[in-house]
Amino acid sequence: MNSQLLIPVTGQGLYDITAQVMAEVRSAAVVDGLATLFIQHTSASLLIQENADPAVQVDLQNWLNRLVVENDPLYTHVEEGPDDMPAHIKSALTAVSLSIPIMQGNLVLGVWQGIYLWEHRHNQSNSRKVVLNIQSG
C-alpha cells in the first residue's frame, strides 16, 4: 500500500508525524511488515528521535544551525535566500527516508521515539510531501 502524507509546516523545526503514520499503518491492516517513508523535498528531512522532552528538538535544531551556518561566503546557490543552501546541506546530513518494522499491527518504535519531519527552511509555510509505503511481511 502506498499513500502520500501532506504535512503542514510553518517554518524551521521538527514536526511530529508519528500519529499520522500510525493511522495509515492501522488502516492498511498489516499485522507484520515494514513501513518506509520518503520525503520528496531537498530542504527537509525525516528523523526518529525522542518524543518525551521538547528540549531535545530545540537542542538538535540549535546544534544543526550552528554546524551549518547561513550566509557562508562559500555558498554559490544563494538565489532563494540565506536559508536555502544550508537547508540542502542539512537535508544531506540527515535522512530523506526511514524504514520502521511493523509487528502486531503497530510500528516498532521505542518508548521515547517519535517520527519527525525536520523542516530546514525558515519561511516555508505550506505542506511537505512524504510518501509512505507499507508492505506486509
Q: Is the separation of the CB atoms in 29 and 22 below 8 Å?
A: no
CATH number assigned to the domain comprising residue 18: 2.60.120.460
pTM: predicted TM-score of the whole model, two decimal places = 0.95
Number of domains in the chain: 1
Phi then psi for residue 100, to 5 deg, are: -130, 125
Dump pLDDT digits (tens) for 27-57: 999 999 999 999 999 999 999 999 999 999 9
Q: What's the rounded Cα separation, in Å, for the pair 59 and 113?
A: 16
Range of the domain at 75: 2-136
Dump pLDDT digits (tens) for 65-119: 999 999 999 999 999 999 999 999 999 999 999 999 999 999 999 999 999 999 9
